[in-house]
C-alpha cells in the first residue's frame, strides 16, 4: 500500500479560489490577466487541474456535503445498513474459516520480530478467499460487497496490523484498481492469480517529491516512436509489498499528445521481472507494521507495453483517488478491529488487576478510560458500516465520507491504544503484551493514505465549496445584474442559503426514545451551517490558508457524521429488537456516551471559531521558526471569528 498517498493534494485546495471563494475581493480568480506573476499563473494552473479532477462529472448532494449546506440527507445514512441474509450466511462461514486459520497459523509477535509475514500465512489467506474477497467469482473471488469485506478486515485488525495492512495493500488498492479500471483482457490476465495469492499486488504512487502532494509525481513515461510502449524512469518509495509484489500499479507522468509542454499522470501495470526494474530497498526498517514489505524501487528505462495502461490515459490521479476511497473504508475497519482488541485487553486487566485491595475497574479514572474506548469502538464500527454501504449502493461522490472515516478512525484508535496502555501501566511497556506493538503499529495510520492534517483541510474546503458557489452567484449578480440568467440563479442561491439559515433539519428516527438526541443533532447541523456561512462571508479568500479555522470546521463536520452513524445504528438496534418481540429498551450506554461527548465537541469546535488563541499560536510559531517579520496577514485574519 502506498502509505502516504492522499485523497487530495495540498495543491487541490487552491482550486477553491475560482469556485468556493470567487465572490471574494478580486472576483472570479479563474479569469487570467496579464498582470499575474509567474507564481500566480502556476497557482491558476493548479486550480484548474484540481477543479477538473475533483469537480467534473455528477456532483450529487451527498450526506456530508448536505451538512455543509444545512441539510440532513437521510436516505444516505438511514436506515442503518445490513448485509443481505444470503451474503451474511456466506460471510459467517468465511469468518469461521478465517478465525480457525488465524488461531493456528497467525503469530503477530513473530511477524513483528522477524519483520516478515510467512508465505504460509499468505497462502492460507488466499485459500480462505481473503485476497480476492470482492472480486467476481469469474476471476476466483468471493464477490463480497464492500460492507462484507470490512468485516473480514476488521477481524484481521483485531489480531495483526501488519497482516491487515498487507491485505489492504494487495486487495483494497491493488486488486481494486484492476476491478474498477481494468479492461477485460487485463482482468483475465491478472486477477485469477491475484485472487488466490499466487501473485501479489502493490500500488506505487509515493515518491520523494510526491507524498502529501500527490500530483507532484516525477516518474516519467515517454512513448516510443512507434507508440507500442512507454519507457518509464524514476523512483518510488514507501510502497507496501514492494519486495513481494508480482504486479504493481505505477503512476507516471506522460506527455499529452498534440499539446507540447503539457503532461498528465497515467497509471501503468508493471511487473518486477522486466529489465530495468531495480529494488533499491526491498524492506525498509520501520517503527511499526514491521511485517509489511515496505520498500523503495527504481525503474531505469523500463519498457511497458501500451496495453498495460490502466484506466484512461492521463487519468492516473483519478484512478488513485478513486481506489483510495475503497482503501480508506477497509482501513477504517482495520482500526475498528484494533480498537475492539484494546477494549478487550483493558476490560480483562481492569477486572483482574488489584491495587489498594481493589480491582482497577473500581477506580473512576480507569472506568472513564474504558467507557471512552467502548464508546469510540462502537462509533468506529458504525461510521465504517455507513461509509461502506455508500459504495455498495452505487452512490456517487462519497470522497468526503471516506476522508472523514480515515481521519476519525485513525485518531480514535490512537487514543484507544493509549488509554489501554495506561490502564496496563508499566506492564504494557514490556514485549510480552501486544500493546507496545499495537502502539507502534497505530502511529502510521494518521500519516498513511493521506495525512490527517491535509485531509482536514480537504474536508473543510471541499465541503464549503457548495455554499461558496451559491454566494458566488449572488455576488456576481450584484456586480453585473444584466448577466445572462444571473437574476434567476442569484434568487435560487439566495433562497437556498436563507432556507438553510431559518430551517432546522429534521433527523428522522423510528424510536421515540431517541427523538431528543435526533432533535439535538438537527439543531447542531443548523448551527454548523450558520458557522460555515459566516466563515465564508467574514474571511472570503484568506480562508484558503487558514488551516486552524479549517480544522475546527472539519472537526465539527466529522463529529456530525459520526453522531449520525451512531444514532442510526442505535435506532436500528432498538427497532430490530422490537420486531423480534423484545421489550423496548434504549439501554446502550456506549452509544449514549458517544453522542453526548460528540455533541459537546461539536459545540466546542463552533465556539472556537470566535473564541480562540489562533493569532498567538501563529506568533509563537513564527518566533520559534525564526520568522522575524511574523505572519501579519494570518494573525489579523484569525483575530476574530464568525461566532
pLDDT at residue 189, as a whole number: 95
What CA–CA distances, in Å, run from 71 to 50, 66, 462, 467? 26, 5, 16, 12
Q: How many CA atoms does the CB half-sphere of 495 hold within 13 Å?
A: 6
Q: Categorize the per-residue pLDDT at 618 as very low, low, confident or very high, splitting at 50, 70 and 90.
A: very high
Domain holding 226: CATH number? 2.40.110.10
Backbone torsions φ then ψ of 221, nearest 5 degrees: -130, 105
Number of domains in the chain: 1
pLDDT at residue 215, as a whole number: 79
pLDDT at residue 585, as a whole number: 56
Strands 295-305, 309-310: parallel, antiparallel or unpaired by DSSP?
A: unpaired
Q: Is residue 480 scored above 90 in pLDDT? A: no
CA–chain centroid gap for 490, Å, is: 34
3-state secondary structure of 487: helix
Give 574-597 pLDDT, tens digit per residue: 998 888 777 655 578 999 999 999
Residue 251 lies in a domain: yes
Q: Is residue 628 scored above 80 in pLDDT? A: no
Q: Is residue 1 scored above 60 in pLDDT? A: no
Give 242-255 pLDDT, tens digit per residue: 999 999 999 999 99
Q: Is residue 141 scored above 70 in pLDDT? A: yes
Q: Domain range for residue 234? A: 203-317
Q: Span 176-193, mean pLDDT?
A: 95
Q: Span 248-270, mean pLDDT?
A: 93
3-state secondary structure of 250: strand
Q: Is residue 23 scored above 70 in pLDDT? A: no
pLDDT at residue 54, as a whole number: 54
Backbone torsions φ then ψ of 230, nearest 5 degrees: -120, 150
Residue 280 lies in a domain: yes
Q: Is residue 124 scored above 50 in pLDDT? A: yes
- The whole-angstrom separation of Cα 365 and Cα 369 is 6
Residue 614 lies in a domain: no
pLDDT at residue 22, as a whole number: 34
- Closest C-alpha to 306, from 360, 389, 231, 418: 231
Strand partners, 267: 251, 310
Q: Is residue 218 scored above 90 in pLDDT? A: yes
Q: Categorize the per-residue pLDDT at 472 as very low, low, confident or very high, splitting at 50, 70 and 90.
A: confident
Q: Span 17-42, mean pLDDT?
A: 38
- The whole-angstrom separation of Cα 12 and Cα 53 is 9
Residue 379 lies in a domain: no
Top-confidence residue, 256 or 470: 256
Classify residue 500 by burial, with Cβ atoms within 10 Å: 0-12, 13-18, 19+: buried
Lowest mean pLDDT among 225-234, 468-477, 633-642: 633-642
Q: Categorize the per-residue pLDDT at 261 as very low, low, confident or very high, splitting at 50, 70 and 90.
A: confident
pLDDT > 70 in the chain, percent = 88
Q: Span 184-192, mean pLDDT?
A: 96
pLDDT at residue 49, as a whole number: 55
Residue 362 lies in a domain: no
Cell 440568467 sits on residue: 485
Catalytic residue IDs: 449
Lowest mean pLDDT among 44-48, 113-117, 169-173, 555-559: 44-48
Residue 20 lies in a domain: no
3-state secondary structure of 359: strand
- The whole-angstrom separation of Cα 367 and Cα 107 is 31
Cell 483510495 sits on residue: 324
Residue 461 lies in a domain: no
pTM: 0.89
pLDDT at residue 632, as a whole number: 47
pLDDT at residue 258, as a whole number: 86
Strand partners, 201: 247
What CA–CA distances, in Å, run from 219 to 132, 212, 252, 260, 276? 29, 16, 5, 18, 14
Q: Span 159-188, mean pLDDT?
A: 95
- The whole-angstrom separation of Cα 33 and Cα 254 is 29
pLDDT at residue 60, as a whole number: 63
- The whole-angstrom separation of Cα 421 and Cα 441 is 13
- At CA 74, angle to CA 450 and CA 373, rounded to 5? 50
Cell of 620: 509563537
Q: Categorize the per-residue pLDDT at 491 as very low, low, confident or very high, splitting at 50, 70 and 90.
A: confident
Lowest mean pLDDT among 54-63, 190-199, 273-282, 413-422: 54-63
pLDDT at residue 41, as a whole number: 53
Strands 309-310, 263-270: parallel, antiparallel or unpaired by DSSP?
A: antiparallel
Residue 11 lies in a domain: no
CB 396 within 8 A of CB 60: yes
Whole-number mean pLDDT of the chain? 88
Amino acid at each position: 500500500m502506498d502509505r502516504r498517498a492522499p485523497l487530495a493534494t495540498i495543491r487541490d485546495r487552491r482550486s477553491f479560489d475560482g469556485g468556493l471563494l470567487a465572490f471574494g475581493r478580486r472576483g472570479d480568480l479563474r479569469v487570467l490577466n496579464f498582470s499575474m506573476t509567474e507564481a500566480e499563473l502556476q497557482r491558476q494552473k493548479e486550480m484548474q487541474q484540481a477543479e477538473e479532477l475533483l469537480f467534473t462529472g455528477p456532483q450529487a448532494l451527498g450526506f456530508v456535503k448536505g451538512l455543509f449546506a444545512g441539510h440532513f440527507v437521510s436516505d444516505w445514512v438511514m436506515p442503518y445498513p445490513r448485509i443481505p441474509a444470503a451474503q451474511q450466511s456466506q460471510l459467517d462461514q468465511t469468518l469461521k474459516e478465517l478465525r480457525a486459520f488465524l488461531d493456528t497459523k497467525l503469530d503477530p509477535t513473530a511477524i513483528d520480530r522477524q519483520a516478515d509475514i510467512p508465505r504460509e500465512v499468505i497462502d492460507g489467506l488466499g485459500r480462505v478467499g481473503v485476497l480476492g474477497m470482492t472480486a467476481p467469482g469469474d476471476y476466483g473471488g468471493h464477490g463480497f460487497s464492500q460492507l462484507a469485506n470490512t468485516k473480514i478486515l476488521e477481524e484481521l485488525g483485531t489480531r495483526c496490523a501488519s497482516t491487515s495492512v498487507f491485505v489492504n495493500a494487495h486487495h483494497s488498492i491493488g486488486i481494486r484498481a484492476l476491478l474498477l479500471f481494468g479492461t477485460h483482457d487485463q482482468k483475465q490476465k491478472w486477477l485469477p492469480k491475484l485472487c488466490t495469492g499466487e501473485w501479489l499486488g502493490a500500488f506505487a504512487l509515493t515518491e520523494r517529491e510526491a507524498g502529501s502532494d500527490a500530483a507532484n509525481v516525477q516518474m516519467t513515461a515517454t512513448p516510443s516512436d512507434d507508440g507500442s510502449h512507454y519507457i518509464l524512469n524514476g523512483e518510488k518509495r514507501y510502497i507496501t509489498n514492494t519486495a513481494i509484489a508480482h504486479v504493481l500499479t505505477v503512476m507516471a507522468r506522460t506527455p499529452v499528445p498534440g499539446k507540447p509542454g503539457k503532461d498528465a499522470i497515467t497509471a501503468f501495470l508493471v511487473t518486477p521481472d522486466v529489465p530495468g526494474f531495480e529494488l533499491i530497498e526491498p524492506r525498509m526498517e520501520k517503527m511499526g507494521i514491521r511485517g509489511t514489505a515496505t520498500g523503495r524501487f527504481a525503474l531505469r528505462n523500463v519498457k511497458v507495453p501500451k496495453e498495460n495502461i490502466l484506466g484512461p490515459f492521463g487519468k492516473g490521479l483519478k484512478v488513485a483517488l478513486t481506489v483510495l476511497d475503497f482503501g480508506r473504508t477497509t482501513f477504517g475497519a482495520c482500526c475498528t478491529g484494533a480498537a475492539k482488541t484494546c477494549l478487550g485487553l483493558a476490560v480483562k486487566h481492569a477486572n483482574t488487576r488489584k491495587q489498594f485491595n481493589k480491582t482497577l475497574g473500581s477506580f473512576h479514572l480507569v472506568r472513564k478510560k474504558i467507557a471512552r474506548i467502548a464508546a469510540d469502538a462502537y462509533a468506529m464500527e458504525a461510521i465504517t458500516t455507513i461509509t461502506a454501504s455508500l459504495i455498495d449502493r452505487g452512490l456517487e461522490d462519497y470522497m468526503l465520507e471516506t476522508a472523514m472515516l480515515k481521519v476519525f478512525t485513525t485518531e480514535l484508535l490512537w487514543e484507544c491504544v493509549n488509554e489501554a496502555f495506561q490502564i496496563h501501566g508499566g506492564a504494557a511497556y514490556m514485549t510480552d503484551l501486544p500493546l507496545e506493538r499495537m502502539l507502534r503499529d497505530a502511529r502510521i495510520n494518521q500519516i498513511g493514505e493521506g495525512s490527517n492534517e491535509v485531509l482536514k483541510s480537504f474536508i473543510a474546503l471541499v465541503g464549503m465549496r457548495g455554499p461558496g458557489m451559491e454566494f458566488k452567484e449572488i455576488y456576481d449578480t450584484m456586480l453585473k445584474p444584466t448577466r445572462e440568467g444571473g437574476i434567476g440563479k442569484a434568487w435560487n442561491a439566495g433562497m437556498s442559503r436563507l432556507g438553510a439559515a431559518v430551517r432546522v433539519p429534521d433527523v428522522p428516527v423510528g424510536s421515540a426514545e431517541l427523538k431528543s438526541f435526533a432533535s439535538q443533532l438537527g439543531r447542531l447541523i443548523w448551527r454548523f451551517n450558520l458557522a460555515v456561512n459566516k466563515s465564508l462571508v467574514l474571511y472570503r479568500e484568506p480562508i484558503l490558508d487558514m488551516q486552524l479555522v479549517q480544522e475546527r470546521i472539519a472537526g465539527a463536520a466529522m463529529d456530525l457524521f459520526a453522531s449520525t452513524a451512531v444514532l442510526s445504528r442505535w435506532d436500528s438496534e432498538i427497532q430490530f429488537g422490537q420486531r423480534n418481540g423484545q421489550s423496548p429498551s434504549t439501554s446502550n450506554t456506549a452509544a449514549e456516551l458517544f453522542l453526548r461527548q460528540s455533541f459537546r465537541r461539536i459545540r466546542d469546535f463552533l465556539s472556537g471559531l470566535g473564541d480562540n488563541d489562533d493569532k498567538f499560536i501563529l506568533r509563537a510559531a513564527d518566533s520559534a521558526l525564526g520568522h522575524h517579520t511574523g505572519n501579519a496577514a494570518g494573525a489579523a485574519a484569525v483575530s476574530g471569528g464568525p461566532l
